[in-house]
Amino acid sequence: MVFIPHLVDGEEVSSLDGATFPSIDPATREEHATVALGSAADADRAVASARRAFDEGPWPRMGFAERGAILHRLADLVTEHLDELALADTTDMGKPIDDSRSKDVPRTAQNIRFFADHARLAHGDALPMDTGHHAYSRFPPAGVVAAIAPWNFPLMLESWKIAPALAWGNTVVLKPAEDTPCSATILARLALEAGMPPGVLNVLHGYGPDSAGAALTTNPRVDRITFTGESNTGRVISEAAARNLVPVSLELGGKGANLVFDDAELNGAVDWSIKAIFTNAGQVCLAGSRLYVQRGVYDEFVERFAAAAQALVVGDPKQSGTQIGPLASETHFRKVGSFLDGIEQHGGKILTGGGGEGWTVEPTVVVDAPPDAPVQRDEIFGPVVSITPFDTEAEAVHLANDTRYGLNAMVFTENLSRAHRAGAALRAGTVWVNCFFVRDLRAPFGGMGDSGVGREGGDYSREFFTEPQAVVMAI
């Protein structure tokens, strides 16, 4: 059995008390790795290592070009180890191997390169004042960053946090999700190989409550907490951080609305809407799980969409060609199953899907669900979409905004004015028009309401991972 250690101060270590937990491959439903289970004492040790590397080590004191060169070397190594990293995420959580290989790992390398370059090329303010003084801004690193990640895009979302943190000169303790520990340890090994000094990137494994995660969020020697995960976990982490007055960035759940207007280019709308809900078996915070279709194209859209859902290849995630693998864990499979069990009882009708073998759920299309049904309101985080007709643009915007979440929305229309109008009226951190999941890493990313607090990406990440400072000089 493979053993996945913590990585602290450049060393691969077991937990101080020797505790471990299993990592289960959801495709075989068997343990495929044994993982070090971190306690509060292990969290302390990891934070102490990051603290030392920040207070005394070379990393925060290097120039941007020197740090950037190490980060670019890390990105090169990620690309060289594409097969190993892709297989680690697929085995840990059942993501189709084609996605791991063509999306998650390349995007990880891209995130690392982007933030290395962004930090090196960033501008500050230079403000000649009327008084004759001269003010300028500096962006020194914040210190020790605790990065707590979810399991749905393990490596990719970890890189979205650690790349800007490292590029700006912070040191990091990364806690991957307990369901997906493997790729983080590989990444930290590669960081050492790339020349990153020991203690700069530490990896601590374990659970959340009463375990490694909670211990990190209450540690007074942590300067920033960046968290991606469920909205309720975000609330708990916010409370913990408030006690130490530590800034938190929260990227939380979603219930993305997808509006298809009569004038949409229907082939594109069907194709993107399928991707929006069934990518990663719907285990995507940005999933377009509420699909609203204008009455004039409703019947045709639903027929084509259901046919496309049925055509998706469900199977072994390690097999190239598979588009839908199992859900990430038994707990998650049971959660999604409980939503499916309640659909008809709440007035919805399952048009296709609903079944599946093992922990797999077939692409599931639901119609006729009333607006207050759980399938319309709650984040299911599985391959389940609810389709509802609408008549007017105002009604579509109202339905889309009738949610406690506000992460993202999609609009499909060929009417330019409507695209801008509806986009501006939607209460969502990201609005995609005639596309989905396309990202510019300079753009703000984050959510409103239960979808999060703060924004990351480009300058927004700089704001969070540094302590912006003004210097005012009398000339």
Residues that bind ligand NAD (CB under 6 A): 148-152, 157, 175, 177-178, 207-209, 213-214, 217, 228-230, 233, 236-237, 251-254, 285, 379, 381, 407, 447, 452
| 285 flagged as catalytic | yes
In whole angstroms, the minimum distance from the beta carbon of 113 to ligand NAD comes to 20
Is the CB of 261 or the CB of 381 nearer to ligand NAD?
381
Is the CB of 213 or the CB of 389 nearer to ligand NAD?
213
Is the CB of 175 or the CB of 304 nearer to ligand NAD?
175
In whole angstroms, the minimum distance from the beta carbon of 219 to ligand NAD comes to 11
| 429-432, long-range: CB < 8 A, 24+ apart | 429/455, 430/286, 432/408
Is the CB of 152 or the CB of 273 nearer to ligand NAD?
152
In whole angstroms, the minimum distance from the beta carbon of 112 to ligand NAD comes to 18
**Active-site pick, 158, 178, 285, 362:** 285
Q: In the complex, which residue's CB is closest to ligand NAD?
A: 208
In whole angstroms, the minimum distance from the beta carbon of 238 to ligand NAD comes to 10
Is the CB of 194 or the CB of 327 nearer to ligand NAD?
327
CA distances from 176 to 67, 386, 436 (A): 23, 31, 26
**Active-site pick, 158, 178, 251, 362:** 251
In whole angstroms, the minimum distance from the beta carbon of 423 to ligand NAD comes to 19
Active-site residue list: 251, 285
